[in-house]
Amino acid sequence: MSFKSKLAIIGGSRSYDLLRENKLGEEVESKIVETPFGQSAPIHFFQDDSIEYLFMSRHGEERYSTAAPFVNYRANIWGLKELGVERIISWSGPGIINDRYRVGEIAIPSDLIDETKNRLNTFFEKRGLGFIRQSEPFCPIIREALNGSLANLGINHRKEGVYLCTEGPRLETPAEITKYKIIGGDLVGMTLIPEVFLARELEICYASICYLTNYAEGVRDRRYKGGKLFEGIQDEEEHAAVEAALCNIPRIIKEAISILNDIDRDCLCKDAMLRYKKNGVIDNNWRDWIKG
């Protein structure tokens, strides 16, 4: 059977557990795509009742083997495009800057702040392309579907928020978190950038679902505990809340896919490169866009 789905899921932390525990549906096949940027992560084709989708574990297949700064984001997004993907739902587990949010909550981010430093963040290194407006960095149609999914399932959540992306792999200092709060960050993580911008460059719709794992450094007074996850920044009650949120991720996403299956791509994402096409700089063959 060949890959047919036009929707992909990029799983964040702990997606390797869901793969191992067979919680994502029936796997039909999988493959790795060779791209101009190296090999993509393994891409799995899943079926579950009336829906089907591609799935990629961002950080590895068995455990957290690739930290956020070292993920080959360009190969991953290129590989999904090569397989015909038009929409991507990702998930990640950021920390909390804005203490109105709670550990274990689900949030659907609506905007971004880029504090990364060393990442390869465009396909267009050798071309005068990529001057793309980011008024809505996340696809509004996918965001609406995710919010609708959570409402249908009766799960309380935050409908929006500003996700601030840091370089990692280290966590942030208290002073950095204070700075990030001042400039408007609600959540802090390491994974959505450049993923979201690369998807837009290839005219793929992209949005994310976040399960909130901990209060960032300095937001709550927490004693350092060596050898523990986050070294004590997450307490036992919060850990239980995060586990419950993570268990909900597959059904939230599957409900969102069911919603999206009935909605056309009536958004601006699919026309991100339209100006360059109209000017004759590029044509519709997206594989040629990276050539110098």
Q: Determine the pLDDT at residue 65.
A: 85
Give the model confidence (pLDDT) of 121-152 as tens digits.
Answer: 999 998 999 999 999 999 999 999 999 999 99
Would residue 76 count as lying in a domain?
A: yes
What are the CA-CA distances from residue 62 to residues 18, 20, 89, 137 (Å)?
10, 7, 21, 31
Structural domain boundaries, residue 103:
7-284
Percentage of residues of the chain with pLDDT beyond 90: 80
165: pLDDT strictly greater than 80 = yes
Would residue 259 count as lying in a domain?
A: yes
Phi, psi of 267, rounded to the nearest 5 degrees: -140, 175
Would residue 225 count as lying in a domain?
A: yes
Would residue 289 count as lying in a domain?
A: no
Would residue 290 count as lying in a domain?
A: no
Which of 21-25, 115-119, 132-136, 196-200 shows the lowest per-residue confidence on average (mean pLDDT)? 21-25
Return the CATH number at 73: 3.40.50.1580
Cα(241)–Cα(232) distance, rounded to whole angstroms?
15
Would residue 114 count as lying in a domain?
A: yes
Would residue 2 count as lying in a domain?
A: no
282: pLDDT strictly greater than 60 = yes
Cα(92)–Cα(112) distance, rounded to whole angstroms?
14
Residue 191: burial class (beta carbons within 10 Å; 0-12, 13-18, 19+): buried
- Amino acid at position 238, single letter: E
Q: Determine the pLDDT at residue 20.
A: 67
- In this prediction, residue 1 has a pLDDT band, given cuts at 50, 70 and 90, of very low
User: Where do we find the tokens 């299956």?
Assistant: 261
Q: Which helix (H) or strand (E) holds 254?
A: helix 236-260
**205's tokens:** 């719709």
Count of the separate structural domains present in the chain? 1
Length of the chain (residues): 292
Would residue 175 count as lying in a domain?
A: yes
17: pLDDT strictly greater than 80 = no
